[in-house]
Amino acid sequence: EIAEALSGSDVQRLAGVRVLLTAGPTREPLDPVRYLGNRSSGRMGYALAGALADLGAHVVLVSGPSALAPPAVAELVRVETALEMHAAVTARARDCDVFVATAAVADYRPAEPAGSKIKKGAETLEIRLVRNPDILAEVAALPKPPFTLGFAAETNDVEQYARGKLKDKRLDMIAANRVGGDSGGFEREENALLVLWNGGQRTLPMMSKVELARELAVLLAERYAEHHAASS
Amino acid sequence: EIAEALSGSDVQRLAGVRVLLTAGPTREPLDPVRYLGNRSSGRMGYALAGALADLGAHVVLVSGPSALAPPAVAELVRVETALEMHAAVTARARDCDVFVATAAVADYRPAEPAGSKIKKGAETLEIRLVRNPDILAEVAALPKPPFTLGFAAETNDVEQYARGKLKDKRLDMIAANRVGGDSGGFEREENALLVLWNGGQRTLPMMSKVELARELAVLLAERYAEHHAASS
């Protein structure tokens, strides 16, 4: 009965809360067949979207290309490029209470994608890239921003980069992990996270992304409740 | 009984023939999380590998990253980059009778992949790319080349490019298709092929990639038998 009661209170935790969540990689076309991509599988984002829905949240999932089956959420919006993800988020950011940015959005896109397949020729080729909009920073800088959770995937100096990103982008929380090598993260089933917020932090040790998503969802619900109480 | 006899003769068609087949895309790292990729799913190559094995061939499949379940073949070699595919093929090309190059191998790779994740900074970024080895041309130029089937995926002027590739790379056959737009090909279940060889051609109309693979495998077996009879 205690277990049921606890589980019951967990289920209610995010009832009525509107969550907008991005997941997966983006693909930035060089031509109709080639693109700049990244190793995000969407696994962590999909698991977190499912875990937040399990806590009662109304989840809108904006997803880049992923081979995984999407979780059961209120709405699924499929996009491919960073600009498409930006448009999908911008159109919905004012109508959410919580924004979660798990997507690995390409920082740059080819300046001039070719309309037909680039033929090989020269021994070397220069590609000019231009910056994509910073979706997370834009949402966090809205006049009435939602409670915002960002992610940082770094190959080195993880905590330092994450603290900088939390502050610079004025996020409410950031979840950081090491990628590359044997340290979990992209393309793996397991991960570990260091979660930071103003005035606190928690380490979620290496576990499956599904378990990790459940723990992170509960932590997000706690922080959101505190933030909500303080601001209302 | 006639059906059985026909089917029986099909099954025997490539018995004892050693096929080396490449499939899927390659990924060329920019840094530990970003890469240059392409839209090949591996579907056509996997279907063709399976169809050739069904005709009795001993199939070694060298595959770039694909989300699909691989077909039942004698050996599966997983690679990621064009250089890895080149090494895997080079090590095995002298021991095959037939080489089939369905892989969408990146023509270029970043000249200097970064060892740690590139941080965003400047508004624009230049990436220098260098040519990858031409695996198909190298195999076809071996002193005793295997019977070689190449593929051409083009967005325009399909037949013209394919005829040029057949001749320039000294291939025995080439299977060409249009990609991009609504014309089948990459990331689709269906495709149509124009198959060319010295002195002949056949159009395989739009059908599922599994059916298409079966027809192409039989056509390859016919051409290989003729070539083999002529050269022995």
User: Minimal Cα–Cα distance from A229 to chain B, Å?
Assistant: 36
**Which chain A residue has its CA at the smallest distance from B114's CA?**
A155
User: Minimal Cα–Cα distance from B43 to chain A, Å?
Assistant: 14
Give the per-residue pLDDT at A182.
55
Contacts of A31 in chain B (CB under 8 A): 155
Complex-level ipTM:
0.86
From the first residue on, what is the mean pLDDT of each consecutive set of 10 residues in chain A (232 residues)? Answer: 50 92 97 93 96 97 96 98 98 98 97 87 92 97 97 86 94 87 65 92 93 96 92 72
Give the residue numbers in B contacting A (CB under 8 Å), as ranges: 27, 30-40, 67, 104, 106-108, 111, 116-118, 120, 122-131, 153-156, 179-181, 186
How open is the CA angle B84-B20-B180, to the nearest 5 degrees? 70
How open is the CA angle B44-B49-B54, to the nearest 5 degrees? 125
Q: Do A125 and B117 touch (CB under 8 A)?
A: no
| A2-37 residue pLDDT tens | 444 455 555 689 999 999 999 999 999 999 889 999
Residue B1 has pLDDT above 50, yes or no: no
Q: Do B129 and A124 touch (CB under 8 A)?
A: yes
Do residues A98 and A58 touch, judged by C-beta distance below 8 A? no
State the greatest distance between any 2 C-alpha atoms of chain B, in Å, as a whole number. Answer: 72
Count of A-B CB contacts under 8 Å: 115
Per the listing, tokens 């969407």 go with A42
Q: Do A180 and B117 touch (CB under 8 A)?
A: yes
Decide if A191 is catalytic. no
Q: Do A123 and B117 touch (CB under 8 A)?
A: no
Contacts of B158 in chain A (CB under 8 A): none
Q: Do A129 and B131 touch (CB under 8 A)?
A: no
Residue B141 has pLDDT above 90, yes or no: yes
What's the CA gap between B140 and B126, in Å, rounded? 35
Contacts of A130 in chain B (CB under 8 A): 123-125
| Plot region of B77 (φ>0 → left; ψ -120 to 50 → alpha; else → beta) | beta
CATH architecture for segment(s) B2-107+129-231: 3-Layer(aba) Sandwich (3.40)
Give the per-residue pLDDT at A216.
97
Do residues A27 and B187 touch, judged by C-beta distance below 8 A? no
**Which chain A residue has its CA at the smallest distance from B67's CA?**
A67
| A82-92 residue pLDDT tens | 999 999 999 99
A7: enclosing H helix or E strand? helix A2-12
What three-state secondary structure class fits A189? coil
Contacts of A156 in chain B (CB under 8 A): 116-117
Mean pLDDT for chain B? 91
The better pLDDT of the pair B185, B43 is held by: B43
CATH architecture for segment(s) A2-111+128-231: 3-Layer(aba) Sandwich (3.40)
Give the per-residue pLDDT at B186.
61
